[in-house]
Structure 1
Amino acid sequence: MRASRLLSIQMMLETHGRMSATALARALDVSVRTLHRDIDELTSAGVPVYAERGRAGGFQLLPGWKTTLTGFTSGEAEAVFLAGLAGPATELGLGPQVASAERKLLAALPAPWRGSARRIRSRLHLDPVEWYREAEPVPFLPVVARAVWEERQLAMSYESWSRTARRTVDPLGLVMKAGTWYFAAGREGKVRTWRVASVLDAALLDTPVQRPRGFELADYWRASVRRFEVELFSGEAVVLATRRGLAELRRINAALARAVATAASPAEGERVELRIPIESVPHAAGQLLRLCPEVEVRAPRELREAIRERAHVAARMYGTR
């Protein structure tokens, strides 16, 4: 455990440069006193760590000194291979680089660990696209990715639901959700989410990206998803559902799954009342009609009438009075 921590200190100092004792201790989840003992042990072992005092001070490695990969554990090597699954990397145009990195890592690993690392490829495959859907064509994903990596502005034609327009944006990060690629980018002082498949053409500019201070992609994405769900599910319905109906509601989307999680489980043959979020009356009518008779809408009245009208249209269409 301590040997792994000592190696981690070396790697963090090599990667980040100067770091304070507080920052190192927080990253390693140890006390500052323990961190100082670890630094003493490193210097005793010949690792050139030196300290600079003052507000901007901290610990730093002698310039040019590098550690090696010999500190990898078998589990860590497997995790690296897991993170390098080929599908998304190939779409990003990084397939050859990932393969080359894996070959170098295999060569650096002790022989007994190589088989364990290789098994990741033969026993795990990632397919992020939902059932009954084809993967979206994303011909400009490599261009968008390069703009993100190199922090360069992107000039593009973008097709929204209402129109197609030319845009110049500051790409900040890429996200894959449910098999669909998105990227966060700033424009006119605001950060918003763009769908990569909606990019009709794109060109890199030499202008550097203006990155907002403190921007973190993971935090932005979580807040964006929450905001989208709040705006999307603007209405509410009251339904009666059987046990099977609850299971069917749960499969529709995450918002309904959260609503079902708060409901009591009905006995066999009985129904339970619960409130569920809906996007709009027409959309909810299409979703909930197919769940009849396991789910019955009690309110609002407009939704009941919309479902009744759809049922009447279907009856007339198929020759039923």
Structure 2
Amino acid sequence: MASQNIYILAIESSCDDTAAAVLKNDTLLSNIVATQEVHQKYGGVVPELASRAHQQNIVPVIHEAISQANIDKKDISAIAFTKGPGLMGSLLVGTSFAKSLSMGLDIPLIEVNHMQAHILAHFIKEEGFDIPTFPFLAMTISGGHTQIVNVSNYFEMEVIGQTIDDAVGEAFDKSAKILGLPYPGGPLVDKYAKLGNPKAYKFTKPKVGDLDFSFSGLKTGVLYFIQKQVKDNPNFIQDNMNDICASIQYTIVEILMDKLKKAVKQTGINQIAIGGGVSANSGIRNALKAAEQKYGWKTYVPKFEYTTDNAAMIGIVGYYKYLNKDFSDLSVTATARLKI
């Protein structure tokens, strides 16, 4: 094996997806994700069930990642894993396994911040995708997080705006629940929104300080609006599903874009990279494309498979940390709340 090649085995278990990936330097060789169907009937992730499912999935997922990468365990240079933030029980499964494997193979262990990984997912070498140049603004939008980060280099990142209550993914999923759509409802809102009129109904945008976000008021607004309409017309939701979804999505996208425009103005940085599960939303992608034309921004949207929780993004952070010789010892523990 050529000494200059670095092989990183990455493990991600922060929520309800068990994922493993193998990278050769900054190129992905395999990316395996086992999703957990068990949560659908509960309308949200049940932490206890999630950690049990991780225990069942982790060995086959890692085995599959190594086998698809067509390498031997002996080739692995280091193991990168998600230290946090996330669900404690889920994180512990990945952390314990990573520590045991690193000890068994006698190779370095690398802890990774899940939020930093969403941002650095843009640096996985991928044909047809540009890599951001520093500095850039990253907007991480998911079920658990909404933040704007000023990114100076691979490891120097400053959160300049974040949600003070719910994350944007929750706003989508809870609005969907109010409309009687199954969990996870965000992608369904997007699907119906494509067929509706985004200005059919007006929802108020919360007023919060500077670059911070708030979505709880919007959620309450949607609930009261639907309750009032259904009282007058029991078929209101079925009759107007496309327009309702389009109007909710339009409001959420407006909230995100207003803050981004403000961040660009304040920092003078007009390179924008988005990440996290909600960055798969077509309304947000279209708004960013329009902003490129209108304001001369350069925007970066990752490949779809790197937007949701995955181990490839953990692996790319692992690769840069490996080059920096930034290793963890075996006393490292999972942390449910972890800042960038």
Give TM class, smaller chain.
Answer: under 0.3
Structure with the higher strand share, 1 or 2 = 1
Higher relative contact order (CA 8 A, sep 6+): 2
TM-score, with length taken from structure 2:
0.24
TM-score by length of 1: 0.25
Which structure: larger Rg? 1
